[in-house]
Structure 1
C-alpha cells in the first residue's frame, strides 16, 4: 500500500470514529485514484458511472433487505426486482405472509440506475456503529445483485454508510412503506 492510500485509510478510520452514530449522512470513506478504502476492506479503483448514463437494457438488478428480530422470532424480507416490491414476514410459528406491489416505471428505473451507478461490489461487507449505539434495534442485511453477482452487506443500527448505500437503503425502505404491512396476528 502506498503512503497516500495508507494516510487516507487512517483519515477515514479517524473520521468514522469521530462521527460515531450521529446519523447516516456524516463522514464518508475517502477515495483515491489508487483505490477505495473503507473500515472493512480496500478495493481496486473503478470507473465512476453517472446514474443518468447507465444502460438499463443490459443489466438485471435485485436488492433484498432482511431484518430479523430474534427476541420475537420474526423476520421480514423485502425484495425489489423487475419493477416489483415484495415483502415476506415469517412469524414465530413458521408461517409466512407475503404482500407485493408493482413499482411505477419511473421509480424503478431511477432505483435501478442508482444501484448500477453505486457499484455494489465496492461496499464493505459490514458497517458497524461506533460510540453510543442503539442496542435494541435489529441488524439489517442487504444483498445487492447485479447481473448475477451478489454483494452482501450487514448494517448495524446507527452505522455510518456511504451516501450511495444510504440512498439505496432509503429507496428500499420507501418501497417497503408502500406495501400493505402483513401481520402475524
Structure 2
C-alpha cells in the first residue's frame, strides 16, 4: 500500500485567522485536528474544521470543531470538513439535507447514485451534490481524500408531494 494511507489517521492541519481589537488581521490558531474513524482503521475517517449553525456567520466567533462525529450540516448552517475513504472501502447509500461542494484532494473515488449511474472522480476534480441519495466506492489501493463544504438545504419535495428525507449512516456500536 502507498504512504498515503497515513491520511486515514493523521488528522489535518487547520490555520484560523481573526481580527484583533483594532481590526487588524491576525492568526487565531494553527493546530492539527485529529481524525475520527468510526468504521475502524480500514474504513472512513473524518475531520471537521468548522460548523456554524446559521448564515450569515459572525466572523468574530470562534470556529466550532466537532470531534468524534460524522459530519452533518445544520439545517440553516454550514460545515467544512475532510473525509478520507480507505482503499477498497465503500460508504453505503445515504442522503444528506445539504448542498455539498466537494473537491477530491488525493486518490480517486466512484460516486454512485440510486439510479445506478456512476462517475469516477479523480484528484483535482469537483462535485456539486444537491441532496441526492449516493454512495462512495474506493476501488483502488490508495486512500481518497475529499474536502467538503456543506450548506443546509431545504428538503427535496417531488411533484407528487413525496419528501426525500435524510438517511443517516449509523456509527457501529463500540
TM-score normalised by structure 2 residue count: 0.24
Q: Which has the higher helix share?
A: 1
